[in-house]
Amino acid sequence: MVRCTALLLVALLAPAAPAADYAVVVSKATRADAAWKPVVDALVAKHQGAVVEYGTDLQEARAQLADLHPRYTCFVATPGEAGRPFVADVHRLTRAYDDDPYTDTFWGILTGYDAANALAIAKHTEPLTVRNVAAGTEVALEMCEQGVCYDELVKGKVVSKKPGRDAQEGKGPDDTTHALAEALDEADLFVTSGHATERDWQIGYRYRNGCFRSEGGRMFGVTAGGERFAIRSDRPKVYLPVGNCLMGHINGPDAMALAWMNSCGVMQMAGYTVPTWYGYAGWGLLDCFVEQPGRYTLAEAFVANQLALEHRLYAAAPQTARQSPPPGSRAAIKGEIAAEGKALGVTAQDVAGLLHDRDVVAFYGDPKWEARMATGPGIRPAYGQTLAEKDGVYTLTVTPSRGADSFKPVNTNGSQRGWRPIVAFLPRRVRDVKVLAGADLKPLIADDFILVPNPRTCDPKRRYEVRFRARPVDGR
């Protein structure tokens, strides 16, 4: 890993180890289960993956994963295994494949209401282009081909966008339970926020509205007047409960996460396993996925946002970053905030929030399955980004497309929005990194990614570029 500041260049060399593209991690008990073994077999067949087994402690898989260092890691788990501690353990394990403190792989937890549900997700192969977005909170529809947002803060407010047109605000129903259920059935991406538990999503945040509830792997709508109706959608989609508490916590067969996967066509989702208060790990998914259309798959956007969080935390408070508090706790801040953290404007409250968020958002689904936002005329990120390599020299070029506003937040609805760093994933793992140009942009170059802190201000006439030389870890 190389980290450049104006005065400092530090290189930590990644060990030369064999690489694998895909690993399936599963407990011995789950792989021995006749119903769940086909889930593992389906993933192995689909991705030519290697199987890594463990007994009762997920950390038993660490040595083999460090040796394989797969680009993708899928953790097959029954609902009984995939609880809050498991999610935290996965986060911590996937930062431990090598010596740097950053996430080392694109990962996902593949589970389902039952083995049949998990197998359907494992077998699904057709990539998803997100063309239609439905949301119960404000989303940057200018970055979407089409969509509809029902406002959780203002009763009756709805914003919609048709292909090739600008978004328009209109008047919707006071109770949006039926409207959201209908929108869900047509959506490629569903986004929610507001109050929630493991058993319900309360649609209105500042006003009385209905809710979605789950029971036995099924989803139901309940209007404010008490009408209950079934919600079902077979359309493959992805789901981001970016501002919801507990939506990603699987604590029994009635958990909302299981109903989303079993009854609503959700192939991938990312959600909090704890009550949320800070929001960086959740709301930032919109910054990385929706607001950089086409740049990342959802799995890549999840990791890019995690890397952004980790970079901010480690830069601001390296001592605190070494802590592993119980998921959901607001750990005490120990040690002073580093000079780099002060320069970033990070406070003790921010450090507590970053540490809280780091290990508590679950990513469910096959991490190599591709869901990506649609692009087209009028739909493009605020800056262009290319990574090229020739003869061992890598060049990251960033091209502003919104003038002086190119690095500013696209949308500020939610918490901890905007100002995400520029993240590009390397095509292969590298070592012996030497920065040739762009050190003033303070790039962080690890074995498998480059991260450039958000420049904050933009000079549209400047060429934003980082060049570095590196050798491949595995010799390829």
Which of 85, 107, 123 terminates a domain? The answer is: 123
* pTM greater than 0.85: yes
What pLDDT band is residue 100 in, cutting at 50, 70 and 90? very high
C-alpha–C-alpha distance, residues 107 and 264, integer Å: 22
Please, what is the average pLDDT of the chain? 94
C-alpha–C-alpha distance, residues 335 and 138, integer Å: 38
**Mean pLDDT, residues 221-225 taken together:** 98
What pLDDT band is residue 475 in, cutting at 50, 70 and 90? low
> Is residue 461 assigned to a domain?
yes
User: What is the per-residue pLDDT for 77?
Assistant: 98
User: What is the per-residue pLDDT for 134?
Assistant: 98
Same domain, 386 and 468: yes
> Is residue 364 assigned to a domain?
no
Judged against a pLDDT cut of 60, whether residue 9 lies above it is answered with no
What pLDDT band is residue 141 in, cutting at 50, 70 and 90? very high
Judged against a pLDDT cut of 90, whether residue 11 lies above it is answered with no
> Is residue 349 assigned to a domain?
yes
- Name the residue among 289, 254, 291 with its Cα closest to residue 270: 289
> Is residue 105 assigned to a domain?
yes
pLDDT in tens, 274-316: 999 999 999 999 999 999 999 999 999 999 999 999 999 999 9
Same domain, 285 and 145: yes
Same domain, 153 and 205: yes
Same domain, 352 and 445: no
**Mean pLDDT, residues 457-470 taken together:** 95
**Mean pLDDT, residues 344-370 taken together:** 95
Same domain, 185 and 263: yes
**Mean pLDDT, residues 441-470 taken together:** 96
Asked if residue 111 lies in contact with residue 118, where contact means CB atoms within 8 angstroms, the answer is yes
What pLDDT band is residue 246 in, cutting at 50, 70 and 90? very high
For the chain, what is the domain count?
A: 4
Same domain, 323 and 386: no
Same domain, 58 and 141: no
Query: Which amino acid is located at 98 in the chain?
Result: D
What pLDDT band is residue 448 in, cutting at 50, 70 and 90? very high
Which of 231, 260, 290 terminates a domain? The answer is: 290
The proportion of the chain whose per-residue pLDDT surpasses 70, expressed as a percent, equals 95
**Mean pLDDT, residues 188-201 taken together:** 98
Same domain, 98 and 247: no
What range defines the domain where residue 254 resides?
128-290
The proportion of the chain whose per-residue pLDDT surpasses 90, expressed as a percent, equals 88
Which of 242, 264, 290 terminates a domain? The answer is: 290
CB atoms within 10 A of CB 159: 18
